[in-house]
Amino acid sequence: MDKIDFVMIWVDGNDPAWRKEKDEYDTSNLQGDSADVRYRSWDNLQFWFRGVEKFAPWVHKIHFVTWGHIPDWLNTNNPKLNIVNHRDYIPSQYLPTFNANTIELNLHRIKGLAEQFVYFNDDMFLTAPVKPEDFFHNGHPKDTYALDCIYFAKKSAGFFNGNDMEIINSRFNRKKVMKEHFSKWYSPRNGLKRLIKTAVLSMWPWFPGIYYNHLPSNFLKSTFETIWSEEGELLDQTCRDKFRTKLNCNQWLIKFWQLAEGTAEPKGTSKGYCFHIRDAIFNDMLKAIETGKYQQICINDTVNTSNFEKQKQQVINAFSKLLPDKSSFEK
């Protein structure tokens, strides 16, 4: 089996040194996406490591990317763990950065990173057993092939999605792509709802958008290298922004590129779920964590979190029921 690495980026929003540096570059609070909701800590990072050790013991290496802060409880001597500082892999002209897009678009530069890797945000967890075949098959990333519409709204990611699709449409002919990889775009594994939407949206000659979900992404390092070679100027423009702006592209560009060139293999769509935290679904989310209902789960913080401290403790309690034992990544 080829090596599969995990990469996870984390920021300690409570670190005073980090907050001081961030504030020095964000004096107006208008130039980018710097809301506290993007950085506040849910204090549940240890459960990410527990989930990986219990449910994906086959992982080759974990690359833990941070601004420089390291949790006191983390066992940095674990042989599977590689601590990666931003300055270890992000070109100096982009540093310091508080732009997740910059951090993500340069991941391929991490020293020793395997060709096949799964990328996690720090709000994405494994809560049930997974196999290497859930992420890659014969060296190809597993993903969902489906057309979609781009949703634009305040605080949405539609702008990044639109910028990504501008590049995809300039590089790939939608009709040609879907003809050459017809069996992938119309595979039953993509799900009936997405098959119908794909059929309807294929009336247009271009890509109106490509489906994505807020769950771990399966990437080939070589795809990053190809896109930097082909679209380096546009990626450079994104990476020079200290904070996310509406002109940025993001890591979905890599996902969309892999789908457009037919590199990916179709996968099922029911292995994970993203909960955008709000009161109406909060108890459902807690139950899903406790029971391991999904293989992968995302707990996406939102401004609709009504009682942060109380709900944070409830999430910790739910994870403690699923993953009560320390991992070898903890002291």
In tens, the pLDDT along 113-150 reads 999 999 999 999 999 999 999 999 999 999 999 999 99
DSSP string, 123-166: TEEE-S---GGGTEETTEEEE---B-PPP--TT-SHHHHHHHHH
User: Six-digit token pair at 304?
Assistant: 């609709």
Compute the mean pLDDT over every residue in the chain, rounded to the nearest whole number: 93
Give the whole-angstrom CA distance, residue 229 versus residue 225. Answer: 6
Average pLDDT over residues 255-271: 92
Give the whole-angstrom CA distance, residue 103 versus residue 275. Answer: 23
Flag the least confident range among 44-48, 235-239, 276-280, 302-306. 302-306
User: What is the CATH code of the structural domain delimited by 4-322?
Assistant: 3.90.550.10
Domain ranges across the chain: 4-322
In tens, the pLDDT along 155-187 reads 788 899 999 999 999 999 999 999 999 999 999
* pLDDT at position 29 over 80: no
- If residue 84 lies in a helix (H) or strand (E), which one and from where to where? strand 81-85
User: Six-digit token pair at 284?
Assistant: 């459902």
The pTM score is 0.95
User: At 296, is the pLDDT very low, low, confident or very high (cuts 50, 70, 90)?
Assistant: very high
User: At 31, is the pLDDT very low, low, confident or very high (cuts 50, 70, 90)?
Assistant: very low
SS3 70: coil
User: Six-digit token pair at 38?
Assistant: 């993007």
- For residue 68, the one-letter residue type is G
Q: Minimal CA–CA distance to 88: which of 58, 72, 70, 112?
A: 112
In tens, the pLDDT along 69-80 reads 999 999 999 999
